[in-house]
Structure 1
Amino acid sequence: MATSLSRYPLLAGLAGTAVAVLMASLSIATLYQGREEALSHARETSENLVSIIGGDIARNVEIYDLSLRAIVDGARDPSVMALAPDLRRRILFDRATTAAYIGGGYVIDANGRVIVKGNNAAAPPETFAEREYFRAHQHNPSVGLFFSHPYLTYAHGMAIGMSRRIDMSDGSFGGIALLTVNVAYFRSLVNKVDVGPQGSIFIVQNDGAMVVRKPFVDDDINRNVAGSATFGRMTSASSGSYVAKSPVDGVVRIYTFARVTGTPFIVGVAPAQDDVLATWRARSTVVGVLTLLFGLSFIALSWLLALSLRERARAQEELVRLAGTDALTGLPNRRAFDERMDEEWRRARRSNAAVSVLFIDVDYFKAYNDNYGHALGDDALAAVAECIALAVRRPGDIPARYGGEEFVVLLPDTRMDGALHIAETIRAGIKTRSIAHRGSLIGRLTVSIGCASAAPPGLGGAYGLLSAADQQLYEAKAAGRDCVRPMALQDIEVTQS
């Protein structure tokens, strides 16, 4: 008995030591996992920022390129070039060439002299013959859309030239069409992003020419970083993420980059690793001290772990919820919509029920932003989302923001007549709001809606149904906007038979 009792303290000590070691091991593992989660979250955030900035650049480049193509077509038309100067200028240069960050638009002949310039264009130099973009088109007929390196303009500071070749009727070089994009545009994109006290964000061309960098240094513009070890990794992939020490200031950063499709630009976001881990390190210090001081208190540690896990679960649930919600409108976002659409299509296949989709687009929304600014544009999108949510009342119906000014509504177990009723309710509700819109022929903010309805396996699947609704949206816009266009009756009967 005495021998047995003498063993209890030892056993208790061993058990306590084992528990303390186990708790310490779990704490260390948890802290390491938190570090990895902090780094992973930083990469995901950087990927989102790169995607947003790259998307903005790609959209604007597409708009500017359409303007360049129109200028080229007009410059090749003798009847256009024979018009009076003011009329010719209005025909050649559309509204995109007067956007806030367009420094000027020019038609330049084969000798490098300006023969037509846009309304807001600065006085041109005597000749453009020695400019990078002019020589590129002059010596290479197949260069297509060309982007120059940043250069100093006469009136708008640093700019990048976007240009296309103008061919004569016999295929010979006839000059170029040129738009100058102010570097201030790229600077405005990076200035909106906070990457921490030591973080960096940059836009660079694929040959290493720096366009803009934050923190901003004047010498960074057009500085070539092709020889940098960090840039070398960006040339071998279309996108990626890696950790490296900056050759400029020696700061270890998490670099996330992606090429902008159709352009020579690479967008990079690089928060400093110390900034990313600052909160984690502070928390780790506290937990480490507490673990050291109270490591033998199993109950306290157990409750601490339980509370930590509960808070972590709540945070994860909140992240999942936010990942599926559009921050501006409060509606589900495209990702959440795609998941629900797949689920409802499978459910409809099992029950042989019809599914309808509404594809909604705000009419002349670019003109709305141009007239009233993006802040009021966001308010208008929120008002449209509210009208859609009020019209879609069934718990199973799914309204969502699809992207930009586009919305979608998924209507399970709904045929075309029900979908049309909801579509007209949405259209009328938005029009009744009487939101002023100077850029619209109607004078008010309106929407166009395409409707499609099918029962599985009609239209080839869920995304075939969505594509059909999108096509009907184009029909609605072609019909003058502010209207609803459903699928043809015979198409509905085929898909639901």
Structure 2
Amino acid sequence: MDSGGLFERIRHQLRQGRLMSARLLIISSVVTVLGFSGVCGSIMLEMRRSAQELSRQTQENLASTISADVNRNIELYDLSLRSVISSLALPQLSQVDPTIRNLILFDHAATAQHFGQLQVFDAKGDLRLDSGTLTPAHINRADEPFFRIHVAQPDFGLYISRPMQHGDAYALVLSRRITAPDGSFAGVVAGSIRFSYFQDLFSRLRLAPHDVIAVLARDGTLIMRTPFAPELLGKNMMARIGMDRMLGQRRGWFSGEGKVDKISRMYVWADSSRPLIALVGRSWSDVFQMWRNEALRIGAILLGLAIIVAGFTVFFIREIDRRAAAERRLEELATTDALTGLTNRRKFDLVMDREWRRAVRARTPIALLIIDADHFKSFNDSFGHPAGDQVLVGIALCIADSANRAGDCAARLGGEEFAVLLPELHAADAQGIAEAIRQKVEVWSEGQAGVTVSIGLASMTPAAGQHWSMLFEAADKALYAAKDLGRNCCVVAASRNDLHLVA
């Protein structure tokens, strides 16, 4: 490979290297940002799962605590009911003093401030005994649900009523059946737990504004709720919250929307085997509040990192562009004739080699003009070098004005000699351009002591294995022929092997 082709190959590789550097820089920046985004995204997803699991565990612990407290009091009260039933079976009870009888019956009764009086009703529903007084009022409860359930279902066990309002207060009625020795229905023993118990229990808890705690019976009846909603008490919530699922799974959670405020929450229960089930709900907004704050912080850091990486990327790409522009400028300076602005000899050789190869591949003609200023040495001696330089600039302008196609290449080969490469032109077309150059120089030089040019022209369709120097030699010989013919003319080489010159 000749030096021109090698130089062109090296220059092409350098240009490709700059483009590759910019691409690699952009790709590296994008991969870096995407990598950090992927890592941070994975971390945030894991944090989100952790936040959800932590909230679930916290709510489950709270539900478990509430359930244990509520059901322990239910069991204590149930023990009091059982104790009364056992004492009523004593044969000597009817013979003792009423005061002693009440002490015997209600000695083990639960006496917490939120527990109501224990009362014994006979088979007709009339109140017979009351733990709070020796003279019970004349009351009949035969139509009450807590009484009728034991009449209808002898094996029902402990009955927990729906929330019932007595005056301004709500309470739950707990009752058990009294069975006679012969197995017949003998009455009911009943008591109550005031809602002040639940209110006091819930008031000790630190709840978020949108937290909800509900106590449900096993049939789905809402016993108590905080925030307090009287319109929902006693309503059956089975269809809404999926009691079948709760009863089939001892502990778990589900996502649902509040009936009152329409807020989406995570609802957790801890022990569905108890008579009353505690359900704790926390809004998803509160569940993910800390995670959301962390996600925003990490997102801001990631955004800042992306901006910094983008800034550095833009800065380095601009530096690469500036360097490339400087290199292009240096390349232009290295391949441009400083006096005329035309391509210099080194650049011309590279273009000649490239166009020659293209012509070989495409099997198209290529023409070459070699132009020389006539009597230039004597002009220089007569008028000086500055005037000679002006003449060369004028000739270069005439050449550039005539050879103005996109693929044409006009160059100063050295001294007063110029060349014009005309791809895809036969000799006849190239001769027209050569004559235009000669005539323009002749017209322009009328005020420049009559400086003219001689032109040698050669055109050929190159074949594989041939070198462009053959075309150059043919055009050069045609130039010498033009000189011999008296100058200020154009001579065309008849062929590359036969230099029969035509004036």
Bin for the TM-score computed over the shorter chain: 0.5 to 0.7
1:68 pairs with one of 81, 84, 88: 81
Matches within 5 A, 1:390-405: none
Residues 175 and 271 of structure 1: CA distance in aligned 2, closer, same or farther (over 3 Å): same
Q: What residue number does 1:275 align with? A: 286
Match for 2:287: what amino acid?
V
2: CA distance between counterparts of 1:190 and 1:171? 42
Matches within 5 A, 1:62-461: 62-119=75-132, 126-153=139-166, 157-229=169-241, 233-263=245-275, 265-295=276-306
Residues 163 and 124 of structure 1: CA distance in aligned 2, closer, same or farther (over 3 Å): farther
The answer (yes or no) to whether the contact 1:17–1:296 under 8 Å persists in 2 is no
Match for 1:41: what amino acid?
L
**For 2:140, what is the secondary structure of its paired residue?**
coil
Q: What residue number does 2:37 align with? A: 24
**For 2:252, what is the secondary structure of its paired residue?**
strand
Residues 281 and 188 of structure 1: CA distance in aligned 2, closer, same or farther (over 3 Å): same
1: CA distance between counterparts of 2:231 and 2:136? 26
**For 1:243, what is the secondary structure of its paired residue?**
strand
2: CA distance between counterparts of 1:191 and 1:128? 33
Q: What residue number does 2:57 align with? A: 44
**For 1:194, what is the secondary structure of its paired residue?**
coil
The answer (yes or no) to whether the contact 1:162–1:179 under 8 Å persists in 2 is yes
1: CA distance between counterparts of 2:274 and 2:162? 16
Residues 99 and 229 of structure 1: CA distance in aligned 2, closer, same or farther (over 3 Å): closer
Q: What residue number does 1:15 align with? A: 28
**For 1:162, what is the secondary structure of its paired residue?**
strand
1: CA distance between counterparts of 2:297 and 2:134? 60
**For 2:238, what is the secondary structure of its paired residue?**
coil
The answer (yes or no) to whether the contact 2:119–2:129 under 8 Å persists in 1 is yes
- Per the TM alignment, residue 297 of structure 1 is displaced from its structure 2 partner at its CA by 5.9
- Give the alignment's TM-score, normalised by structure 1: 0.55
- Per the TM alignment, residue 71 of structure 1 is displaced from its structure 2 partner at its CA by 0.2
1: CA distance between counterparts of 2:95 and 2:147? 24
Q: Deviations over 1:366-397 (max 9, x none)?
A: xxxxxxxxxxxxxxxxxxxxxxxxxxxxxxxx
- Per the TM alignment, residue 58 of structure 1 is displaced from its structure 2 partner at its CA by 2.2
Match for 2:154: what amino acid?
P
Q: Which runs of 4+ in 1 moved over 4 A?
A: 1-5, 7-10, 120-125, 229-233
- Per the TM alignment, residue 123 of structure 1 is displaced from its structure 2 partner at its CA by 6.2
The answer (yes or no) to whether the contact 2:255–2:264 under 8 Å persists in 1 is yes
Q: Deviations over 1:253-301 (max 9, x none)?
A: 00112445341x2210010001111222222122212211213768xxx
1: CA distance between counterparts of 2:142 and 2:308? 81
For structure 1, the 5+ residue unaligned runs are: 299-497
1: CA distance between counterparts of 2:243 and 2:209? 22
Residues 229 and 142 of structure 1: CA distance in aligned 2, closer, same or farther (over 3 Å): closer
The answer (yes or no) to whether the contact 2:146–2:173 under 8 Å persists in 1 is yes
The answer (yes or no) to whether the contact 2:266–2:284 under 8 Å persists in 1 is yes
- Per the TM alignment, residue 191 of structure 1 is displaced from its structure 2 partner at its CA by 3.0
1: CA distance between counterparts of 2:123 and 2:43? 68
The answer (yes or no) to whether the contact 1:104–1:121 under 8 Å persists in 2 is no
How many percent identity over aligned positions? 27
- Per the TM alignment, residue 229 of structure 1 is displaced from its structure 2 partner at its CA by 4.9
- Give the alignment's TM-score, normalised by structure 2: 0.54
For structure 2, the 5+ residue unaligned runs are: 1-12, 310-503
2: CA distance between counterparts of 1:108 and 1:8? 96
- Per the TM alignment, residue 124 of structure 1 is displaced from its structure 2 partner at its CA by 5.0
Q: CA RMSD in A?
A: 2.6
1: CA distance between counterparts of 2:118 and 2:128? 11
Match for 1:293: what amino acid?
G
1: CA distance between counterparts of 2:134 and 2:113? 12
The answer (yes or no) to whether the contact 1:108–1:177 under 8 Å persists in 2 is yes
Residues 262 and 293 of structure 1: CA distance in aligned 2, closer, same or farther (over 3 Å): closer
2: CA distance between counterparts of 1:70 and 1:100? 19
Residues 209 and 236 of structure 1: CA distance in aligned 2, closer, same or farther (over 3 Å): same
Q: What residue number does 1:449 align with? A: none
The answer (yes or no) to whether the contact 1:203–1:267 under 8 Å persists in 2 is yes
2: CA distance between counterparts of 1:36 and 1:120? 58
Match for 2:297: what amino acid?
V
The answer (yes or no) to whether the contact 1:20–1:296 under 8 Å persists in 2 is no
2: CA distance between counterparts of 1:232 and 1:249? 24
- Per the TM alignment, residue 122 of structure 1 is displaced from its structure 2 partner at its CA by 11
Aligned residues: 296
Q: Deviations over 1:386-426 (max 9, x none)?
A: xxxxxxxxxxxxxxxxxxxxxxxxxxxxxxxxxxxxxxxxx
Q: What residue number does 2:420 align with? A: none
Q: What residue number does 1:53 align with? A: 66
1: CA distance between counterparts of 2:27 and 2:194? 72
**For 1:65, what is the secondary structure of its paired residue?**
helix
1: CA distance between counterparts of 2:77 and 2:71? 10
The answer (yes or no) to whether the contact 1:196–1:272 under 8 Å persists in 2 is no
- Per the TM alignment, residue 106 of structure 1 is displaced from its structure 2 partner at its CA by 0.9
Residues 219 and 49 of structure 1: CA distance in aligned 2, closer, same or farther (over 3 Å): same
- Per the TM alignment, residue 18 of structure 1 is displaced from its structure 2 partner at its CA by 1.8
- Per the TM alignment, residue 61 of structure 1 is displaced from its structure 2 partner at its CA by 1.9
The answer (yes or no) to whether the contact 2:158–2:175 under 8 Å persists in 1 is yes
The answer (yes or no) to whether the contact 2:99–2:134 under 8 Å persists in 1 is no
